[in-house]
């Protein structure tokens, strides 16, 4: 049995880098240090795999060679007038870099799943900037942690033990030295271990953030409650925020997906900016898929924009609400799609999923999903971080190298290699 240490887990944006994996006969037999999400991925990655490229001919799928699948993909992309290229948060930066070249070459729109997770966060940050840090700084220094619209015990199970409540920092060493606050519409699993839980009415985050800003700036709130929260509780929280040594506001999709969207994020960032008049305070988004932060970074390096980049004019053009995938599909404008490491049929509102199903889709993915089931062409790929190496960005923007720990099934290559083949064929090399 072979043991590989310091493996990076490719499930969520925490990218835990202390995983121990035991391998026997090219099979993962045991995994240590993961949460249940990582454990499930490492122990099940070899199930429900797609092992042959396939093309839909009339109603039935027919297995084809990789070259034939690539040719069909190139034909679909070349014939399209407004193709979309979407996904990327579950693959490597290296694969996305090739995807950017394809998008530019064919004049398509390239978007990543940020579009339906922290898109509003990016817009908020672009509008008014942010006070941020690494998770290491939070672990070592933060004595006040606020989770707002985020339930890490379900979405990022080791976030609390590695970086916040239960971590041993250099300067803040124990749980007793940290205060944990949870703001949510439900008393989540994370709320159950907080010092203070603030239950907020749905769709009223903006109001509560504004009230907190008012309290932080010494205003006297002339109401009994705001967003279902008694004013005394708001004032207590404002005082806790002002008097901490290093505070961190960690927010999730409770803020980005609720009405208000990027305005909610702007209000949260503005609150943190206000707090920096009194103390050190940072704000960090809780990013979901393991490399969604990387998708933003690579898109930024290459075009100057973080997601939803439209090349149809011959140069990069970015306007969320117009060039974002949800809007393009809802307007029925795209006429072909290349989907990489994503399952939009499962994750878009039904009307959009229906519209997407009417155009030819090429999907590159290791396993079967509702999107692969309705695609015109399906090209199976290997798992980055298990069967192929690559770089991914942790949720705080720290890039980490993912290892190859076992060989992929026979004939299965990586997203990066498949995309290189598509690009080469599109160029006519």
Partner 1 sequence: MIKVILITGRSLDQGTSKSIGKFSKEYMEKLAICELDPEDLKSLGIESGQNVKIKTKYGEVIVKAIESKQAPHKGIAFMPYSMWANLLLGSSTNSSGMPTFKGIEADIEIVKEGKIMDLNELLEEKIGVI
Comparison of 113 and 133: residue with beta carbon closer to partner 1: 113
Of 238 and 345, the one with the shorter C-beta distance to partner 1 is 345
Residue 46 or 274: the one with the smaller Cβ distance to partner 1 is 46
Residue with tokens 């490229």: 53
Q: Give the binding site for partner 1 (CB under 8 A).
A: 11-12, 36-37, 39-41, 43-45, 47-48, 115-116, 119-120, 123, 151, 153-155, 157, 185-189, 191, 199, 202-203, 253-254, 256-259, 261-262, 288, 308, 320-322, 324, 326-327, 329-330, 343, 345-355, 357, 367-370, 373-374
For the bound state, the minimum distance from the C-beta of residue 66 to partner 1, rounded and expressed in Å, comes to 23
CB of 293 to partner 1, least distance (A): 17
Q: How far is the CB of 188 from partner 1 (least distance, A)?
A: 5
CB-based contact 362:346 (threshold 8 Å): no
By beta-carbon proximity to partner 1, the closer residue of 11 and 281 is: 11
Residue 246 main-chain phi, psi, to 5 deg: -150, 110
- Distance in Å, CB of 427 to partner 1, minimum: 31
| CB neighbour burial string for 270-292, b if at least 16 within 10 angstroms, e if fewer | ebbbbbeeeebbbbbbbbbbbbb
Torsion on CA atoms 216, 117, 413, 14, rounded to nearest 10: 30
Contact 208, 183 (CB under 8 A): yes
DSSP letter assigned to residue 384: B
Q: How far apart are CA 13 and CA 40, in angstroms?
A: 16
DSSP output for 318-359: E-TTTSSHHHHHHTT----EEEES--HHHHS-HHHHHHHHTS
Instruction: Name the minimum Å distance from CB 204 to partner 1.
Output: 9
Min. distance of Cβ 322 from partner 1 in angstroms? 8
CB of 128 to partner 1, least distance (A): 16
Do the bridges between strand 84-87 and strand 337-340 make them parallel or antiparallel, or are there none, so unpaired?
parallel
Rg (CA), the chain: 23
Backbone angles phi, psi at 273, to 5 degrees: -60, -45
CA distance 210 to 314: 42
Compute the least distance from the CB of residue 24 to partner 1, in Å.
20
Residue number, 133 or 375, with CB nearest to partner 1: 375
Q: Which is nearer to partner 1, 103 or 244 (CB)?
A: 103
Q: Which of residues 70 and 181 has its CB atom nearest to partner 1 in the complex?
A: 181
Contact 142, 172 (CB under 8 A): yes
Cβ-based neighbours of 422, under 8 Å, separated by 6 or more: 70, 73, 74, 77, 102, 338
Closest by CA position to 36, among listed 130, 158, 207, 118: 158
Give whichever of 92 and 188 is closer to partner 1, judged by the CB atom: 188
Looking at beta carbons only, is 115 or 391 nearer to partner 1?
Answer: 115
Distance of CA 87 to the CA centre of its chain: 10
Residue 254's SS3 state is: helix
CB of 68 to partner 1, least distance (A): 22
């Amino acid at each position: 049995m072979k043991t590989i240490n310091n493996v990076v887990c490719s499930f969520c944006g925490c990218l835990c880098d202390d995983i121990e994996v035991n391998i026997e006969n090219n099979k993962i037999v045991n995994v240590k240090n993961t949460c249940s999400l990582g454990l499930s991925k490492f122990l099940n990655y070899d199930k429900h795999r797609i092992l042959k490229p396939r093309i839909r001919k009339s109603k039935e799928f027919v297995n084809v060679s990789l070259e034939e699948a690539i040719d069909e993909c190139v034909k679909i992309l070349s014939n399209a007038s407004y193709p979309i290229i979407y996904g990327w948060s579950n693959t490597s930066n290296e694969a996305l870099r090739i995807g950017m070249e394809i998008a530019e070459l064919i004049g398509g729109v390239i978007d990543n799943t940020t579009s339906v997770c922290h898109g509003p966060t990016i817009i908020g940050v672009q509008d008014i900037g942010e006070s941020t840090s690494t998770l290491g700084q939070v672990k070592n220094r933060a004595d006040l942690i606020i989770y707002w619209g985020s339930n890490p015990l379900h979405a990022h199970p080791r976030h609390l033990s590695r970086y916040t409540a239960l971590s041993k920092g250099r300067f803040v060493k124990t749980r007793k030295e940290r205060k944990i606050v949870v703001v949510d519409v439900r008393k989540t699993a994370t709320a159950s271990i907080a010092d203070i839980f603030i239950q907020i009415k749905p769709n009223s985050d903006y109001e509560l953030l504004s009230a907190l800003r008012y309290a932080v700036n010494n205003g006297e709130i002339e109401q009994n409650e705001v967003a279902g929260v008694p004013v005394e509780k708001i004032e207590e929280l404002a005082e806790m925020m002002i008097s901490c040594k290093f505070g961190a506001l960690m927010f999730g999709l409770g803020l980005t997906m609720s009405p208000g969207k990027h305005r909610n994020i702007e209000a949260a960032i503005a609150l943190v900016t206000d707090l920096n008049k009194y103390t050190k305070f940072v704000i960090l988004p809780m990013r979901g898929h393991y490399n969604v932060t990387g998708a933003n970074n690579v898109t930024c390096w290459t075009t100057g924009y973080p997601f939803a980049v439209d090349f149809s004019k011959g140069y990069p053009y970015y306007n969320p609400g117009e060039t974002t995938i949800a809007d393009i599909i809802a307007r029925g404008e795209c006429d072909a799609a290349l989907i990489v490491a994503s399952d939009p049929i499962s994750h878009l509102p039904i009307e959009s999923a229906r519209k997407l199903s009417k155009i030819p889709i090429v999907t590159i993915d290791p396993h079967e999903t509702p999107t692969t089931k309705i695609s015109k062409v399906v090209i199976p790929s290997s798992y980055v971080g298990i069967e192929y190496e690559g770089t991914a960005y942790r949720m705080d923007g720290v890039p980490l190298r993912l290892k190859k720990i076992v060989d992929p099934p026979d004939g299965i290559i990586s997203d990066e290699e498949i995309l290189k083949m598509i690009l080469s064929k599109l160029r006519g090399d």
